Structure 1
Amino acid sequence: MAVEVRHLRALLSVLEEGTFTDAAIALGTTQASVSRLVAALERELGVHVLQRTPRGAVATAAGGRIAVHAHRVLQEVDAITRLARDDGGLEGEVRVGYAWAALGRHTTVLQERWRQRHPGSTLVFTQTSTGTAGLQEGLVDVAVTRRRLDGRRFATALLGTESRWAAVGSAHPLARRRRVRLHDFHGAVIGSDARTGTTTRDLWPPGTVPAATRDTRGVDEWLTLIAAGQAVGITTEATTWQHQRPGVVYRPVVDADPVPVWLGWWRDAGPAWAPALAELAGELYAGEG
């Protein structure tokens, strides 16, 4: 047998209530059950934790030291329980990672609707330029990605799709177009992020591939490169909403396949509320509500 949470709760309840009888009332059990739990704790630890007196029970020297740690353990257990609660019990911040542009025009709408459905809970979007948008690194609870995550480790839900847009410098010839096509990039230098981006040379049909690809690290570096006329880019619609930059204009790419948008979380230890968040975000992408 190992020390269990119920053993620690019994010890602390006796110390707080003063007697085994009152502890049993507080825990909603019997005096005999509390006595057995305390006795089991003492056997496991090999020390006496309580001293019975005519007026009740008090901690031994060892029991007092153990009680200090027991308080901390139970506080952490209670915090874990609160985090794992689903509808009606979800509180605090929900950290949503993204690498590039969150959910574009749906971002603030999703935050507001989540708050309405889960009072006391707040969606906080966190930008992390990694392949899992901070999920693997333990920085976020769930992550928005435009590349599907490894299905062996992560559960994913498809939220919807986004159209592709070109990003070009305001002095670039394509900036004068209302819309562009993939063949318009033939011979150009394409700025992309190999870790998190969705633009690769495979996007272009044979014979229309750009002249070169220039790797960037994150959206800010990408935009700076484009504004300087050193590259052009192709991104998703969300970027056009979230990352306006002087010197950069966006134009729709009419013949490019749309980009899927995923919500991902750890398969074995993911939050119970993740599917509900995915459903709500999916409604926005579908134009419902």
Structure 2
Amino acid sequence: MEVELRHLRAFVAVATRGSVTAASRDLLITQPALSRTIQQLEAAVGTRLLERGPQGVEPTEAGGELLGRLRGVLRDLDAALAAAGGHAGLRIGFQWALPDPWASDLLTAFETATGARATLLRRDDIVAVLHSGEVDAALVRGEVHASGISGTVLFEEDRLAAVSTDSELAARGELDWAELPAHPVVVNTVSGATSPHLWPPGNQPSQVVECGSYDEWLAIIAAGRGIGSTTLSAARAHTHARVTYLPLRDAPRVALRLLWPTRRTSDPLLRRFGECARSMRGAHGSDASGISHGGTGFLGSVATNDP
């Protein structure tokens, strides 16, 4: 039996959802028909690809390897079919607030120049969704080191301190970056751009309060459990009645990076998005946005994150 596209899509759906029931709803076919399709694929490749585990249906070792390969293949196929039908587009992942109006102007410029549609999708685990093909590229702050992911710095942003309005620090006009380690420092370990390693040895925070999202980070600071640092654009987008933002002297700036799967470096639509992102970097002056600019053209100074 020849393997058909329906077999591959069925396998990816079940392996991703971890449930034949959920996958059958997504694919709009009956559960028995979906199970037969999976069995046909397993017969064709000569090995079991899925098995029932404690958390539901899980890929076998062979199935896990196949799943990793198929996600990228099917994503590229869907993109090619969309482009052929005149419905090309890009899905751009991000973790938390993007500079405004820079981000909205970027999408408008890209869509005007290409006729393609750009969609923003908020995701915490950017590396995972880039590998799975859920997004085509991503705008992230801080450094990301992952095999198969390439990136380039678009610009840097100023950093502010975030303190509870009940803190005595809230009455200060500004803080010094070197002062922060004397207080508990709240760190978003999943998508944040601050870590204890940003301070020199001997002056790193003695107490770090870890969290897993920007909302958690903001709530912890509002409760007076610690202080943190964030970008100027994020502070503007995420105000809180019990959080005060203060300028930070001598603080390291935060880089905004464009990331994409290395295998898609030659994708013309992705390259055009990168070109638009770089051309837009000077559209809003640093006096208004806290942005500084530098670097060379897109893919002219690509910093690959492959080991």
Q: TM-score range by the shorter chain?
A: 0.5 to 0.7
How far 1:208 moved relative to its partner? 3.5
Task: State yes or no: 1:115 paired with 2:114.
Answer: no
Task: State yes or no: 1:238 paired with 2:237.
Answer: no
Aligned to 1:280: 276
Which of the pair has more CA radius of gyration? 1
Distance 2:127 2:100 in 1: 18
After the TM superposition, which residues 25-40 of structure 1 pair with which residues of structure 2 at under 5 Å, given as runs?
Answer: none
Q: Aligned pair in 2 of structure 1 residues 252, 273: CA closer, same or farther (>3 Å)?
A: farther
Distance 1:104 1:288 in 2: 9
After the TM superposition, which residues 245-264 of structure 1 pair with which residues of structure 2 at under 5 Å, given as runs?
Answer: 245-264=240-259
CA contact (8 A) 2:191 2:214 kept: no
Q: Unpaired segments of 5 or more residues in structure 2?
A: 4-74, 286-307
Aligned to 1:11: none
2:182 to 181, 187, 204: 187
CA contact (8 A) 1:157 1:278 kept: no
Q: Aligned pair in 2 of structure 1 residues 189, 104: CA closer, same or farther (>3 Å)?
A: farther
Partner SS, residue 268 of structure 1: helix
How far 1:172 moved relative to its partner? 1.9
Distance 1:256 1:134 in 2: 31
* Structure 1 letter corresponding to 2:205: P
Q: Unpaired segments of 5 or more residues in structure 1?
A: 4-75
1:211-261 per-residue CA deviation (whole Å, 9 max, x = no partner) reads: 311111111111111111112111222312322222122222220121221
How far 1:104 moved relative to its partner? 4.3
Q: Aligned pair in 2 of structure 1 residues 148, 240: CA closer, same or farther (>3 Å)?
A: same
After the TM superposition, which residues 138-149 of structure 1 pair with which residues of structure 2 at under 5 Å, given as runs?
Answer: 138-149=133-144
Distance 1:203 1:209 in 2: 8
Aligned to 1:33: none
Q: Aligned pair in 2 of structure 1 residues 105, 233: CA closer, same or farther (>3 Å)?
A: farther
Distance 1:78 1:99 in 2: 26
1:198 to 171, 190, 193: 193
After the TM superposition, which residues 1-289 of structure 1 pair with which residues of structure 2 at under 5 Å, given as runs?
Answer: 80-83=79-82, 91=87, 93-119=89-115, 121-132=116-127, 134-150=129-145, 152-269=147-264, 271-287=267-283
Distance 2:153 2:169 in 1: 32
How far 1:131 moved relative to its partner? 4.8
How far 1:145 moved relative to its partner? 1.7
Aligned to 1:73: none
How far 1:101 moved relative to its partner? 2.2
Aligned length: 214
CA contact (8 A) 2:164 2:170 kept: yes
CA contact (8 A) 1:159 1:279 kept: no
Q: Aligned pair in 2 of structure 1 residues 149, 202: CA closer, same or farther (>3 Å)?
A: closer
CA contact (8 A) 2:192 2:214 kept: no
Question: Alignment identity in percent?
Answer: 26
How far 1:78 moved relative to its partner? 8.4
CA contact (8 A) 2:79 2:88 kept: no
Normalising by the residue count of structure 1, what TM-score does the alignment of the two structures yield?
Answer: 0.64
1:105-158 per-residue CA deviation (whole Å, 9 max, x = no partner) reads: 412221222232233x33221111115273234321111122344474122122
Q: Aligned pair in 2 of structure 1 residues 241, 83: CA closer, same or farther (>3 Å)?
A: farther
CA contact (8 A) 2:159 2:231 kept: yes
Distance 1:181 1:105 in 2: 28
Distance 1:281 1:201 in 2: 30
CA contact (8 A) 2:94 2:126 kept: no
